C-alpha cells in the first residue's frame, strides 16, 4: 500500500529552488478557482501590478507564463525574432548557451559574443560585434548567469544595443527580486524571470514583461509567431483588458496564489531593502567561507549576491562533499554546470533563506564536512 508523499524538509542553498516562506506554502493550499472566475481575474490583475512593481516598469504587457523560466526565455525570443533575423547573444555561461539553442531552432541568424565563464560580459565586445553586424535585430543577454555566478551590467549593454537600433532581451531569472533590475530606466524591450530563484516562490511560473515598442512590433509581424502557446498576441487575449478575457490555457490557480503571496511579501519588505539584504548577506557569507579557505570564482564587483560560485579546493572530492552535506546535514548546494562542472560549488542565499541563521548553518556544515 502506498501512502501520501512526505518530502524531507531540506535546507535548499543551491541555485534554486530555495526554501519558501511558510506563508507562501499556505497560500498554495487554498481552494482552487476556475481560470475565468471573476475573482481569479482580479488576482491576475493584482499579480500584474505586483510584477510591475518588481520589474520597475509601467509596461502593460507584464504577466506570468504558466511554466518555468525556460518558457519565458523561449517566449521573448520567439516573439521578437523572424526567421533569418540577425541576433547577437552574449554568452558567458550555460544559460546564455540555452538562448543560442533557441535562436537556432527558430531560424535566427546567430552571432555570439563570447565571454570567459565566471566574468561579466565585456560591453566593448558587444559594441565591436554590433559595429561588424549593424543589421542586428535583437541583442540578448543574461543578467545573473547562474551557472558561473557572474552579474553583467545590463544597463550598459542595453544602451549599446539601442545605439544600433536592436531590440534588447534580458534574462532576469536569478536576479529579479534579489538584485537591482530596472526595466524601464534601462530600456529593456523584453525580460523574463522564474518563480523559484530571486522571487523565492515554488517553481513553475515565469514572470515576463514586454515594452510597448515590442508589443507593437509583435502585433504587426509579417510572419506569424512560430509558437502557439507562446504567441504574445494570444496570451494577451487572456491577460489583458478589463472584462473581455478569453480562454487561452488553464492557468494553475493555486500556483498563482503562491506567487501573489511571494510578491506581496517582497513589496512589504520593499524591493530596495531586499536588494540590500541580499548584498549584505552575500558579503558576510563570502567572509566566513574565506575563513575556511574557500575562495569565490568571480571578482568582487561582478558577483551575483544571491548565488556564489566557490572554487573547489585542490584534492577535495566535490561530489563526496555535496553528498555528505545532504546526508549528514540535510543541506543541498549546487554542483558546477557545463565548463565549470567539477570545478565549483554553487551556494544560493535567496529570498527567505538570505539571513544570518542560514549563513551560520551553511558554515557549520562545511566546517564539519571539510575537516
Ligand atoms: C534557472 C535559469 C533558467 C531556467 O529557468 P527554469 O525555471 O529552470 O526553466 C534560465 N536562465 C537562468 C539565468 C537561470 O538561472
| Ordered per-residue pLDDT tens for the chain, 371 residues | 789 999 999 999 999 999 999 999 999 999 999 999 999 999 999 999 999 999 999 999 999 999 999 999 999 999 999 999 999 999 999 999 999 999 999 999 999 999 999 999 999 999 999 999 999 999 999 999 999 999 999 999 999 999 999 999 999 999 999 999 999 999 999 999 999 999 999 999 999 999 999 999 999 999 999 999 999 999 999 998 766 789 999 999 999 999 999 999 999 999 999 999 999 999 999 999 999 999 999 999 999 999 999 999 999 999 999 999 999 999 999 999 999 999 999 999 999 999 999 999 999 999 999 98
3-state secondary structure of 163: helix
- H or E element that contains 367: helix 356-370
Quick count: other Cβ atoms within 10 Å of Cβ 201? 32
Quick count: other Cβ atoms within 10 Å of Cβ 104? 12
3-state secondary structure of 78: helix
How far apart CA 61 and CA 236 sit, in angstroms, is 7
Tell which atom from ligand 1 comes closest to the C-alpha of 195: 7
Residue nearest to atom 6 of ligand 1 (CA): 69
CA of 195 to the centre of ligand 1 (A): 10
How far apart CA 199 and CA 54 sit, in angstroms, is 9
Listed residue (90, 139, 98) closest to 119, CA to CA: 90
CA of 71 to the centre of ligand 1 (A): 9
How far apart CA 81 and CA 78 sit, in angstroms, is 6
Stretch(es) of the chain classified as CATH 3.90.1150.10: 11-16+271-370
Burial of 259 (0-12, 13-18, 19+ CB in 10 A): buried
Listed residue (17, 92, 104) closest to 339, CA to CA: 92
Listed residue (116, 115, 106) closest to 138, CA to CA: 106
Per-residue pLDDT at 2: 87
CB-based contact 345:334 (threshold 8 Å):
yes
Fold of the domain built from segment(s) 22-266:
3.40.640
Tell which atom from ligand 1 comes closest to the C-alpha of 70: 9
Q: Can you tell me which residue has the cell 535583437?
A: 138
CB-based contact 362:28 (threshold 8 Å):
no
Burial of 234 (0-12, 13-18, 19+ CB in 10 A): middle
Kindly report the CATH number that applies to the domain delimited by 11-16+271-370.
3.90.1150.10
How far apart CA 273 and CA 159 sit, in angstroms, is 26
Q: Which of 17, 146, 350 to mutate to test the pocket of ligand 1 (most atoms within 8 A of CB)?
A: 146
Per-residue pLDDT at 243: 63
Ligand 1 neighbours by CB, cut-off 6 Å:
16, 68-70, 73, 95, 142, 146, 171, 173-174, 194, 203
Tell which atom from ligand 1 comes closest to the C-alpha of 307: 15
Stretch(es) of the chain classified as CATH 3.40.640.10: 22-266
Per-residue pLDDT at 1: 73
Residues 6 or more apart whose CB falls under 8 angstroms from that of 163 comprise: 130
Q: Can you tell me which residue has the cell 561582478?
A: 302
Amino acid at each position: 500500500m502506498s501512502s501520501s508523499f512526505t518530502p524531507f524538509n531540506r535546507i535548499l542553498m543551491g541555485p534554486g529552488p530555495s526554501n519558501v516562506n511558510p506563508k507562501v506554502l499556505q497560500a498554495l493550499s487554498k481552494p482552487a478557482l476556475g481560470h475565468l472566475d471573476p475573482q481569479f481575474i482580479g488576482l491576475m490583475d493584482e499579480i500584474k501590478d505586483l510584477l510591475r512593481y518588481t520589474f520597475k516598469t509601467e509596461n502593460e504587457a507584464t504577466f506570468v507564463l504558466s511554466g518555468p523560466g525556460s518558457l519565458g526565455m523561449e517566449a521573448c525570443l520567439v516573439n521578437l525574432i523572424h526567421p533569418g533575423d540577425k541576433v547577437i547573444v552574449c554568452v558567458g555561461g550555460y544559460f546564455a548557451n540555452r538562448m543560442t539553442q533557441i535562436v537556432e531552432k527558430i531560424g535566427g541568424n546567430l552571432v555570439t559574443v563570447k565571454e570567459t565563464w565566471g566574468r561579466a560580459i565585456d560591453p566593448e565586445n558587444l559594441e565591436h560585434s554590433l559595429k561588424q553586424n549593424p543589421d542586428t535585430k535583437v541583442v540578448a543577454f543574461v543578467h545573473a548567469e547562474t551557472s558561473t555566478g557572474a552579474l553583467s551590467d545590463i544597463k550598459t549593454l542595453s544602451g549599446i544595443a539601442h545605439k544600433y537600433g536592436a531590440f534588447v532581451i534580458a534574462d532576469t531569472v536569478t536576479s529579479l527580486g534579489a538584485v537591482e533590475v530596472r526595466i524601464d530606466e534601462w530600456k529593456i524591450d523584453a525580460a523574463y524571470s522564474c518563480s523559484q530563484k530571486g522571487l523565492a516562490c515554488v517553481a513553475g511560473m515565469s514572470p515576463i514583461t514586454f515594452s510597448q515598442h515590442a508589443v507593437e512590433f509583435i502585433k504587426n509581424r509579417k510572419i506569424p509567431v512560430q509558437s502557439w502557446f507562446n504567441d504574445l498576441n494570444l496570451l494577451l487575449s487572456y491577460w489583458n483588458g478589463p472584462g473581455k478575457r478569453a480562454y487561452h490555457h488553464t492557468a494553475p490557480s493555486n500556483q498563482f496564489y503562491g506567487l501573489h503571496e511571494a510578491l506581496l511579501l517582497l513589496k512589504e519588505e520593499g524591493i530596495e531593502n531586499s536588494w540590500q539584504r541580499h548584498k549584505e548577506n552575500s558579503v558576510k557569507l563570502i567572509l566566513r567561507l574565506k575563513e575556511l579557505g574557500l575562495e569565490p570564482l568571480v571578482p568582487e564587483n561582478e558577483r551575483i549576491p544571491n548565488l556564489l560560485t566557490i572554487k573547489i579546493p585542490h584534492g577535495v572530492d566535490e561530489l563526496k562533499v555535496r553528498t555528505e552535506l545532504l546526508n549528514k546535514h540535510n543541506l543541498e548546494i549546487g554542483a558546477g554546470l557545463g565548463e565549470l562542472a567539477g570545478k565549483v560549488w554553487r551556494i544560493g542565499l535567496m529570498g527567505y533563506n538570505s539571513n544570518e541563521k542560514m549563513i551560520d548553518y551553511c558554515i557549520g556544515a562545511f566546517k564539519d564536512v571539510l575537516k
